[in-house]
Structure 1
Amino acid sequence: MRILLDADTPIQMLTLLQHVLRPHKVDHVHGRGWSAKKDVPLLRDARAAGYDIFVTNDWNQLDSPAETDAIRRSRMHHVRYSQRREGLAGLALAIGAVVAAMPTVVEFLEKVDRQQLVRISGLDPKGRFESVDPVRNPPRYWS
Protein backbone atom coordinates (compact mmCIF):
# COMPACT_ATOMS: atom_id res chain seq x y z
CA MET A 1 0.00 0.00 0.00
CA ARG A 2 1.06 3.60 -0.55
CA ILE A 3 0.69 5.85 2.48
CA LEU A 4 0.85 9.65 2.56
CA LEU A 5 1.44 11.64 5.74
CA ASP A 6 -0.24 15.05 5.85
CA ALA A 7 1.66 18.29 6.55
CA ASP A 8 0.42 18.37 10.16
CA THR A 9 2.04 14.99 10.80
CA PRO A 10 5.54 15.30 12.32
CA ILE A 11 8.27 14.63 9.78
CA GLN A 12 10.02 12.57 12.47
CA MET A 13 7.25 9.99 12.11
CA LEU A 14 8.21 9.26 8.50
CA THR A 15 11.38 7.25 9.15
CA LEU A 16 9.74 5.25 11.94
CA LEU A 17 6.75 4.33 9.76
CA GLN A 18 9.01 3.48 6.83
CA HIS A 19 10.82 1.10 9.18
CA VAL A 20 7.76 -0.65 10.65
CA LEU A 21 5.88 -0.72 7.32
CA ARG A 22 8.77 -1.94 5.17
CA PRO A 23 6.78 -3.69 2.46
CA HIS A 24 4.78 -0.49 1.94
CA LYS A 25 5.65 2.93 0.51
CA VAL A 26 5.36 5.76 3.06
CA ASP A 27 5.83 9.40 2.02
CA HIS A 28 5.33 12.79 3.65
CA VAL A 29 3.76 15.71 1.78
CA HIS A 30 6.95 17.71 2.40
CA GLY A 31 8.96 15.17 0.42
CA ARG A 32 6.47 15.39 -2.44
CA GLY A 33 6.62 19.20 -2.49
CA TRP A 34 2.94 19.34 -1.54
CA SER A 35 3.18 20.97 1.91
CA ALA A 36 1.53 24.21 0.71
CA LYS A 37 -1.46 22.46 -0.92
CA LYS A 38 -4.88 22.89 0.64
CA ASP A 39 -6.62 19.69 1.70
CA VAL A 40 -9.15 19.39 -1.13
CA PRO A 41 -6.61 19.53 -4.00
CA LEU A 42 -4.11 17.55 -1.90
CA LEU A 43 -6.55 14.66 -1.48
CA ARG A 44 -7.33 14.69 -5.22
CA ASP A 45 -3.65 14.75 -6.19
CA ALA A 46 -2.70 12.09 -3.64
CA ARG A 47 -5.25 9.67 -5.06
CA ALA A 48 -4.16 10.47 -8.62
CA ALA A 49 -0.58 9.65 -7.54
CA GLY A 50 -1.73 6.23 -6.33
CA TYR A 51 -1.88 6.65 -2.56
CA ASP A 52 -4.19 4.31 -0.67
CA ILE A 53 -3.98 5.75 2.85
CA PHE A 54 -3.92 9.36 4.06
CA VAL A 55 -2.68 9.93 7.65
CA THR A 56 -3.52 13.24 9.31
CA ASN A 57 -3.69 15.03 12.64
CA ASP A 58 -6.36 17.37 11.19
CA TRP A 59 -9.55 16.45 13.03
CA ASN A 60 -11.41 19.37 11.44
CA GLN A 61 -11.44 17.67 8.04
CA LEU A 62 -14.50 15.67 9.00
CA ASP A 63 -16.28 18.85 10.12
CA SER A 64 -15.89 20.53 6.74
CA PRO A 65 -18.42 19.45 4.09
CA ALA A 66 -15.97 20.26 1.28
CA GLU A 67 -13.12 18.32 2.87
CA THR A 68 -15.36 15.41 3.82
CA ASP A 69 -16.56 15.23 0.22
CA ALA A 70 -12.94 15.31 -1.01
CA ILE A 71 -12.08 12.46 1.38
CA ARG A 72 -15.04 10.43 0.12
CA ARG A 73 -14.24 11.10 -3.55
CA SER A 74 -10.56 10.24 -3.05
CA ARG A 75 -11.54 6.71 -2.00
CA MET A 76 -8.38 6.66 0.12
CA HIS A 77 -8.56 5.32 3.63
CA HIS A 78 -8.51 8.27 6.02
CA VAL A 79 -6.47 7.67 9.20
CA ARG A 80 -6.54 10.35 11.87
CA TYR A 81 -5.05 10.77 15.30
CA SER A 82 -4.77 13.57 17.83
CA GLN A 83 -2.01 15.03 19.93
CA ARG A 84 -3.85 15.42 23.21
CA ARG A 85 -0.98 17.03 25.12
CA GLU A 86 1.18 20.00 24.24
CA GLY A 87 4.94 20.02 23.84
CA LEU A 88 7.48 17.28 23.33
CA ALA A 89 5.74 14.88 25.72
CA GLY A 90 2.53 15.17 23.69
CA LEU A 91 4.46 14.77 20.44
CA ALA A 92 6.13 11.61 21.76
CA LEU A 93 2.78 10.13 22.82
CA ALA A 94 1.19 10.92 19.44
CA ILE A 95 4.10 9.50 17.45
CA GLY A 96 4.16 6.41 19.66
CA ALA A 97 0.44 5.82 19.20
CA VAL A 98 0.59 6.13 15.41
CA VAL A 99 3.74 4.04 14.96
CA ALA A 100 2.40 1.32 17.27
CA ALA A 101 -1.01 1.21 15.56
CA MET A 102 -0.13 1.51 11.87
CA PRO A 103 1.10 -2.06 11.22
CA THR A 104 -2.24 -3.39 12.49
CA VAL A 105 -4.20 -0.63 10.73
CA VAL A 106 -2.50 -1.39 7.39
CA GLU A 107 -3.04 -5.13 7.85
CA PHE A 108 -6.74 -4.45 8.45
CA LEU A 109 -7.05 -2.06 5.50
CA GLU A 110 -5.44 -4.57 3.12
CA LYS A 111 -8.36 -6.93 3.80
CA VAL A 112 -11.29 -4.55 3.34
CA ASP A 113 -12.96 -3.81 0.04
CA ARG A 114 -14.27 -0.32 0.81
CA GLN A 115 -12.90 3.00 2.01
CA GLN A 116 -12.49 3.20 5.77
CA LEU A 117 -12.29 6.10 8.24
CA VAL A 118 -9.86 5.12 11.00
CA ARG A 119 -9.20 6.90 14.29
CA ILE A 120 -6.05 5.96 16.19
CA SER A 121 -6.46 6.20 19.95
CA GLY A 122 -3.82 8.12 21.83
CA LEU A 123 -1.50 6.62 24.40
CA ASP A 124 -2.32 7.28 28.04
CA PRO A 125 0.82 8.60 29.74
CA LYS A 126 -0.28 7.06 33.04
CA GLY A 127 0.85 3.51 33.63
CA ARG A 128 3.42 3.57 30.81
CA PHE A 129 6.19 2.36 33.14
CA GLU A 130 6.88 0.93 36.56
CA SER A 131 9.78 1.55 38.88
CA VAL A 132 11.37 -0.39 41.75
CA ASP A 133 13.66 1.10 44.38
CA PRO A 134 16.09 -1.80 44.93
CA VAL A 135 17.27 -0.39 48.27
CA ARG A 136 13.78 -0.36 49.82
CA ASN A 137 12.22 -3.22 47.93
CA PRO A 138 14.92 -5.38 46.34
CA PRO A 139 13.79 -7.93 43.79
CA ARG A 140 14.71 -11.53 44.58
CA TYR A 141 17.38 -11.50 41.86
CA TRP A 142 19.02 -8.34 43.30
CA SER A 143 22.26 -9.02 45.12
Structure 2
Amino acid sequence: MRVYLDENLPPFVAQPLAVVYAGHEFATHESEGLTGVEDIPLLSELRQRGFDATVTRDRMQLRDPNERLAVIESGLRWVGVRDKKLGGLQQITITVSTLIAGMRYVFEHSPEGPTSYQLHSVPHDEPQRVKVTVLAA
Protein backbone atom coordinates (compact mmCIF):
# COMPACT_ATOMS: atom_id res chain seq x y z
CA MET A 1 0.00 0.00 0.00
CA ARG A 2 1.22 3.52 -0.77
CA VAL A 3 0.69 5.93 2.12
CA TYR A 4 1.07 9.71 2.02
CA LEU A 5 2.00 11.51 5.24
CA ASP A 6 0.49 15.00 5.20
CA GLU A 7 2.72 18.01 5.73
CA ASN A 8 1.32 18.53 9.24
CA LEU A 9 3.37 15.46 10.23
CA PRO A 10 7.16 15.61 10.45
CA PRO A 11 8.65 14.00 7.31
CA PHE A 12 11.04 11.84 9.34
CA VAL A 13 8.02 9.88 10.64
CA ALA A 14 8.10 8.01 7.31
CA GLN A 15 11.38 6.27 8.12
CA PRO A 16 10.36 4.27 11.22
CA LEU A 17 7.06 3.37 9.55
CA ALA A 18 8.90 2.07 6.49
CA VAL A 19 11.15 -0.05 8.71
CA VAL A 20 8.25 -1.63 10.60
CA TYR A 21 5.96 -1.98 7.56
CA ALA A 22 8.58 -2.93 4.98
CA GLY A 23 5.99 -4.06 2.43
CA HIS A 24 4.43 -0.61 2.25
CA GLU A 25 5.61 2.73 0.89
CA PHE A 26 5.49 5.94 2.92
CA ALA A 27 5.89 9.29 1.17
CA THR A 28 5.84 12.87 2.39
CA HIS A 29 5.07 16.31 1.01
CA GLU A 30 8.83 16.78 0.59
CA SER A 31 9.45 13.55 -1.29
CA GLU A 32 6.44 14.17 -3.55
CA GLY A 33 6.97 17.90 -4.10
CA LEU A 34 3.53 18.69 -2.68
CA THR A 35 4.41 21.26 -0.02
CA GLY A 36 1.72 23.91 0.32
CA VAL A 37 -0.90 22.20 -1.87
CA GLU A 38 -4.43 22.82 -0.55
CA ASP A 39 -6.34 19.77 0.75
CA ILE A 40 -8.99 19.37 -1.96
CA PRO A 41 -6.62 19.36 -4.96
CA LEU A 42 -4.08 17.39 -2.89
CA LEU A 43 -6.49 14.49 -2.35
CA SER A 44 -7.19 14.23 -6.07
CA GLU A 45 -3.47 14.45 -6.89
CA LEU A 46 -2.65 11.70 -4.41
CA ARG A 47 -5.12 9.33 -6.05
CA GLN A 48 -3.71 10.17 -9.50
CA ARG A 49 -0.24 9.32 -8.18
CA GLY A 50 -1.41 5.91 -7.02
CA PHE A 51 -1.65 6.45 -3.29
CA ASP A 52 -4.02 4.29 -1.28
CA ALA A 53 -4.14 6.25 1.98
CA THR A 54 -3.39 9.62 3.50
CA VAL A 55 -2.36 10.20 7.11
CA THR A 56 -3.02 13.60 8.68
CA ARG A 57 -3.53 15.50 11.91
CA ASP A 58 -6.14 17.65 10.12
CA ARG A 59 -9.42 16.30 11.45
CA MET A 60 -11.26 19.23 9.84
CA GLN A 61 -11.00 17.35 6.55
CA LEU A 62 -13.90 15.18 7.71
CA ARG A 63 -15.87 18.04 9.26
CA ASP A 64 -15.73 20.48 6.35
CA PRO A 65 -18.36 19.29 3.81
CA ASN A 66 -16.24 20.14 0.76
CA GLU A 67 -13.12 18.46 2.12
CA ARG A 68 -15.12 15.45 3.29
CA LEU A 69 -16.54 15.07 -0.23
CA ALA A 70 -13.01 15.35 -1.65
CA VAL A 71 -11.88 12.55 0.69
CA ILE A 72 -14.78 10.37 -0.43
CA GLU A 73 -14.27 11.10 -4.14
CA SER A 74 -10.53 10.43 -3.89
CA GLY A 75 -11.17 6.86 -2.76
CA LEU A 76 -8.25 7.15 -0.35
CA ARG A 77 -8.30 5.65 3.09
CA TRP A 78 -8.23 8.59 5.48
CA VAL A 79 -6.16 8.09 8.62
CA GLY A 80 -6.36 10.69 11.38
CA VAL A 81 -3.87 11.08 14.19
CA ARG A 82 -4.75 13.28 17.13
CA ASP A 83 -2.29 15.98 18.05
CA LYS A 84 -1.83 15.74 21.82
CA LYS A 85 -0.51 19.33 22.07
CA LEU A 86 2.72 18.07 23.54
CA GLY A 87 6.09 19.39 22.59
CA GLY A 88 9.38 18.19 21.18
CA LEU A 89 10.49 14.63 21.80
CA GLN A 90 7.34 13.79 23.74
CA GLN A 91 5.10 14.68 20.76
CA ILE A 92 7.38 12.89 18.29
CA THR A 93 7.44 9.64 20.26
CA ILE A 94 3.67 9.65 20.77
CA THR A 95 2.99 10.33 17.09
CA VAL A 96 5.41 7.67 15.84
CA SER A 97 4.27 5.04 18.34
CA THR A 98 0.59 5.74 17.64
CA LEU A 99 1.16 5.33 13.90
CA ILE A 100 3.24 2.18 14.31
CA ALA A 101 0.60 0.63 16.56
CA GLY A 102 -2.42 1.80 14.54
CA MET A 103 -1.40 1.36 10.91
CA ARG A 104 -1.50 -2.42 11.29
CA TYR A 105 -5.29 -2.21 11.50
CA VAL A 106 -5.48 0.06 8.47
CA PHE A 107 -3.41 -2.41 6.43
CA GLU A 108 -5.35 -5.47 7.62
CA HIS A 109 -8.81 -3.95 7.02
CA SER A 110 -10.52 -4.46 3.66
CA PRO A 111 -12.99 -1.59 3.32
CA GLU A 112 -15.95 -1.78 0.97
CA GLY A 113 -15.94 1.94 0.30
CA PRO A 114 -14.51 5.25 1.52
CA THR A 115 -13.25 4.70 5.04
CA SER A 116 -11.72 6.79 7.80
CA TYR A 117 -9.53 5.51 10.59
CA GLN A 118 -9.03 7.72 13.63
CA LEU A 119 -6.06 6.41 15.55
CA HIS A 120 -6.14 6.80 19.31
CA SER A 121 -2.89 7.94 20.87
CA VAL A 122 -0.97 5.37 22.81
CA PRO A 123 -0.87 6.05 26.55
CA HIS A 124 1.88 8.54 27.16
CA ASP A 125 1.98 9.46 30.82
CA GLU A 126 4.69 7.83 32.91
CA PRO A 127 2.32 5.69 35.06
CA GLN A 128 0.65 4.40 31.86
CA ARG A 129 3.88 3.42 30.12
CA VAL A 130 6.57 2.82 32.73
CA LYS A 131 6.79 1.29 36.16
CA VAL A 132 9.72 2.79 38.02
CA THR A 133 11.17 0.80 40.91
CA VAL A 134 14.16 1.78 42.99
CA LEU A 135 16.28 -1.31 43.51
CA ALA A 136 17.97 -1.83 46.84
CA ALA A 137 20.63 -4.40 47.67
With structure 2 as the length reference, what TM-score do the two structures score? 0.91
Give the aligned residue type for 2:115.
Q
Which residue in 1 is equivalent to 2:132? 131
In the alignment, the residues of structure 1 paired with residue 4 and residue 91 of structure 2 have an alpha-carbon distance, to the nearest angstrom, of: 22
Cα deviation 1:105-140 (Å, max 9, x = unaligned): 2122xx3332211000012223101111111xx6xx
1:75 aligns to what? 75
- Aligned counterparts of 2:82 and 2:7: Cα–Cα separation in 1: 14
- Higher alpha-carbon Rg: 1
State the identity %.
24
In structure 1, the partner of 2:106 is 105
Match of 2:38 in 1: 38
* CA distance, structure 2, for counterparts of residue 119 and residue 94 of structure 1: 13
Report the CA distance between 1:61 and its aligned residue.
1.0
Which runs of 5 or more structure 1 residues have no equivalent in the other structure?
A: 139-143
Give the match for residue 64 of structure 1: 64
| Residues in 2 aligned to 1:116 and 1:44: alpha-carbon distance in whole angstroms | 16
Q: CA RMSD in A?
A: 1.3
Q: Which ranges of 4 or more aligned residues in structure 1 deviate by more than 3 Å?
A: none
**CA shift digits 1:78-118 (9 cap, x unpaired):** 0001121321212321221112211232122xx33322110
Mapped to 2, the partners of 1:69 and 1:101 lie a distance apart of: 24
Q: What is the aligned partner in structure 2 of residue 15 from structure 1?
A: 15
The one-letter code of the counterpart of 2:21 is L
The letter of the residue matching 2:12 is: Q
Which residue does the alignment assign to 2:87? 87
Mean Cα displacement is larger for which, 47-56 or 85-94?
Answer: 85-94
TM-score, normalised to structure 1's length? Answer: 0.87
Q: Is 1:3 aligned to 2:3, yes or no?
A: yes
Task: For 1:123, give the aligned amino acid.
Answer: V
Q: Distance in 2 between matches of 1:2 and 1:86?
A: 28
Shift of 1:9: 1.2
Equivalent residue number for residue 141 of structure 1: none
Corresponding letter in the other structure for 2:15: T
